[in-house]
A = this chain, B = another copy of it.
């Protein structure tokens, strides 16, 4: 398009590569950025570079952090006898937001997905087993997602961990709170049914 200046076109293309940002949204964002004050644009741009440069994986739990070990691993108010295993750093965020877990985490950075060529070796499983060598760990809660890959990974981990004498559990799956049977798919409903508990 003749009307688009090259730097605008370039910015639109770069934004377009982000997930969920289509061409239309990329255009809107680009024009918004052009209308922002210069120092705010610099803040935005620097925050991108700064995050990429200063955020590393924690050498203990593999979560993203700017300090190593991370603030959770070094927090002595947390229960270090229990580790919740999640797929990605954003899952740690979600758990922390829910504010219902006071143990430690372990981030796998993925799930076992043979179709995508991702086997156990690609995940932070060795690092998890190393943590289990201390006697402190009493329970591993596997909180991978209820997908084929998440289920496979949970099964794989439990087979690996149970023989070590560490209790291995998996978080419950079923209807979300506030959910309505009418709107959920049959797999969610059958999972909810399987996960039924006796009322006392």
Contact = CB atoms under 8 A, between A and B. Distances in A.
Interface in A1-16: 1-8, 10-11, 13-15
Nearest to A71: B2
Contact of A34 (B29, B51, B105): B51
Given A3-B72, A55-B34, A97-B1, A10 B50 contact: yes
Contacts of A52: 33-34, 36, 38, 41
Contact of A19 (B28, B55, B72, B89): B28
B47 A7 contact: yes
A49 interface: yes
A29 B18 contact: yes
B38 A2 contact: no
Interface of A: 1-8, 10-11, 13-15, 17-21, 25, 27-34, 36, 38, 40-55, 63-67, 70-72, 75, 88-90, 92-93, 96-97, 105
